[in-house]
Homo-oligomer: A and B are copies of this chain.
Amino acid sequence: MTGRWITANLKPMPEPTQSPTVELLEGLATTRAIRRYTDDPIPDDDLAKILFAATRAPTGSNRQNFRFLVLRDGEVATAAKRLLGESFRTGWAEKRSTDGYEAGSGQDLSSPKARMAATMQHFVDNFERTPVVVLPCIRVRHGGLIDGASIYPGCQNLLLAARGLGYGGVLTGWHSPVEADLRELCAIPEDHAIAATIPLGRPQGNHGPVRRRPMSELVFDDVWGGDASWAIEPSGTQHTQAGPKPT
């Protein structure tokens, strides 16, 4: 035993811990909405990498009319998080009731519905403690769907980069009830839309495969509804269970 102990100690010390790298396609399939964060802050250099990835995304004609406002623990950020927290709690209370989270399978606390409700309640109750909240903004050009082509790819890059560095977040739209106050507080210009609210932090749980509908429902070949027989999923792909899921 002693000999083995000595041999083990003669091995070179391991390098300082680095996040294991994530392969691109694996990252795309395993970045899911994360709503429970530890209190760990996101160090500056990781945050820089996350925002760098966000700003490398495409925009219409490469105009780059996107801006990312990062709320951490500054004066305005603290007030903005409070405002958002109130809006999120109101929004969730309404959704919980409207979408019947207490009804049916929601009465079984181990059901997916009840577990989602518990996650959402934790998420909104602790919103102000979220280490970083990003407000991605886009200068309005067309005033419709197509403006989103210049901001949501960046939001996805941001979430993917967070995943790559061991963080998680979620793309939400629950700022909208307080958008006017938020805009004034953060001095966001009139001609820019707030496209989303993205909280980010170190996940309490683990990343894992996302659940979606089978590809056969989502991908068509040649014509709407056309069977894409080639669209075969990796073995073991998990699919969405019934029931509403909030964003």
Contacts and interface: CB of A to CB of B under 8 A. Distances in A.
Interface stretch (A9-17, A103-111, A158-166): A158-166
Interface in A62-76: 62, 64, 66-72, 74-76
B164 A24 contact: yes
B196 A149 contact: yes
Interface string A140-155: 1001111111011101
Interface in A207-226: 210, 212-213, 215, 218-226
Contacts of A195: 145-146, 148-149
Contacts of A156: 57-58, 152-153, 156-157
Contacts of A55: 212-213, 215, 218-219
Q: Which of A27, A176, A234 has the most CB of B within 10 A?
A: A27
A100 interface: no
A178 interface: no
A157 B28 contact: yes
Interface of A: 21-29, 31-33, 44-45, 47-49, 51-53, 55-62, 64, 66-72, 74-77, 138, 140, 143-149, 151-153, 155-157, 159-161, 163-165, 170-171, 173, 176, 186-189, 193, 195-196, 210, 212-213, 215, 218-226, 228, 230-234, 237, 240, 244-247
